[in-house]
Structure 1
């Protein structure tokens, strides 16, 4: 697929959106910013909610592709998850279908399969076709988003790459994150590959750097043209000294979703 010129970036005020606002233009993209919160020093950003169908359709109109990062990113009451992550994602797909946008890159999450046990030493990496095992209502919403993407590909020919993002921060902050860390630079490389690869249909990929302690299989991401350059291992010594080695029976190390399976962080609003 030719590199899209104009990409609608939803969730542009969030942590990941802020990182991508600075990194993706280096690949030649013109970003159209969308968020429920105003974005400082971005006077052209669209401030609207995913429930505002008219504003959403206007935002989508004329875009070559969409990078959908918007929504609640932690656990919350089901009613809030329903409105933001489930109905909001449906509204976005409907707007894209009506306006003829050919591709969406959807920010899924490891929490769509969060109750999947982590591999032990010598075990095969977790494949992308592992069954959905969401660990929270948040994870459930990401499983829904992946299935919605499949429906819109099969029924309407709208392509999606669903990226099961690990943890995209400037550096990992926990021992668990050593296995799931996605450096911001690798995040931009992965999203660029997802926006430009040919004939993706609906493709699910795991989103992380080439970590020494990797838990999941990056094959489908590499098939898009993604070449991760970073590794969390330089941070391992400091984190293990502070937090200790992974322990058997600790949900943070025993399941892909970590502490989301038993003590998830709650969305503050």
Structure 2
């Protein structure tokens, strides 16, 4: 059996650096792409470190040659200008998809976000996987645009594209909101592995959320691709409730999927 080659963009970032270690498997080689400094490859690590901008189409095409799939995590998260979001978050996704097309790579797993639908209000029913976009920020707009690019490249070029709308990725839930929308590191790995191995998924939008007792996001598409989240923020509920106040300033926007990103006067430096 030939070696499986997986590209990770944004591999120096919070999730990317975690995946660098968690996606190691016998018979798998990782290509780790980031413009930021990365640790050198360890002696037992079957990987290559590439310093390149995710928005550089030629560099991405060269770095992705021979890959089986791309896990696209590279993104500006906050504090950026519109021009920067366009350059990195939108043009970066274009460059990844174009590199996939040129190299006949059949699958891209994309780190989307709940901020693509942040201005949707929470309801008594679960937020569906294909909830219509209502972005709450320039960051959210860039996620919507990238999902649209993935749809185009699937329909026109046959590339499987799974958009994981990641909610609150943290090592552990640390506020009341995260008791509902937390995504654990272990469940992130499960989501990515399922996305890499699902047979012929086509274009999918999947909530990236753990199986929280208070969850208000659907797991229907997650389970359809074989992602069975196992962690539950309720394990920390007593501690979180004791250490936080229901009158926390952020709670006034908790009725919206995007949380404080939907606040009046929100600037791109805020996060939820």
| Worse-matched range after superposition: 149-158 or 23-32 | 23-32
CA change 1:29–1:181 in 2 (3 A) is farther
> What SS is found at the alignment partner of 1:97?
helix
Q: 2:119 aligns with which of 101, 115, 127?
A: 115
Q: Which moved more, 1:227-236 or 1:46-55?
A: 46-55
Deviation at 1:249, TM superposition (A): 9.0
C-alpha distance in structure 2 between counterparts of 1:126 and 1:142, whole Å: 17
Q: CA RMSD in A?
A: 2.2
Q: 1:192 to 1:248 in 2, by over 3 A?
A: same
Q: How many residues align?
A: 263
Structure 2 counterparts to residues 14-53 of structure 1, below 5 A: 14-26=13-25, 29-42=28-41, 44-53=48-57
TM-score by length of 2: 0.91
**Counterparts of residues 142-153 of structure 1 (less than 5 Å):** 142-153=143-154
> Where does residue 233 of structure 1 map in the other structure?
234
1:148-159 mapped onto 2 (5 Å cutoff): 148-159=149-160
Residue 26 of structure 1 deviates from its aligned partner by 4.3
Give the gaps of 5 or more residues in structure 2.
Answer: 43-47
2:87 alignment partner, one of 83, 96, 114: 83
Residues 209-268 of structure 1 show CA distances to partners (whole Å, capped at 9, x for unaligned) of: 10011011010011111111110001111222222237899444111111112235529x
Q: Deviations over 1:10-51 (max 9, x none)?
A: 000000011111111148632110001120233831011123
CA contact (8 A) 1:3 1:195 kept: no
1:184 is aligned to 185
Whether the aligned pair in 2 keeps the contact of 1:3 and 1:196 (CA below 8 Å) is: no
Partner SS for 1:25: coil
Distance in 2 of aligned mates of 1:17 and 1:128: 23
**Aligned counterparts, 1:1-269, within 5 A:** 5-26=4-25, 29-42=28-41, 44-119=48-123, 123-245=124-246, 250-262=251-263, 263=266, 266=269
Counterpart secondary structure, 1:128: coil
What is the rounded CA distance, in whole Å, between the counterparts of 1:166 and 1:28 in structure 2? 31
For structure 1, the residue ranges without an aligned partner over 5 or more in a row are: none
Question: Could you tell me how far 1:4 is from its partner in structure 2?
Answer: 7.9
Which deviates further from its counterpart, 178-187 or 235-244? 235-244
Q: 1:252 to 1:15 in 2, by over 3 A?
A: farther
CA displacement, residues 53-72 of structure 1 (integer Å, 9 cap, x when unaligned): 22111111100000000010
TM-score normalised by length of structure 1: 0.91
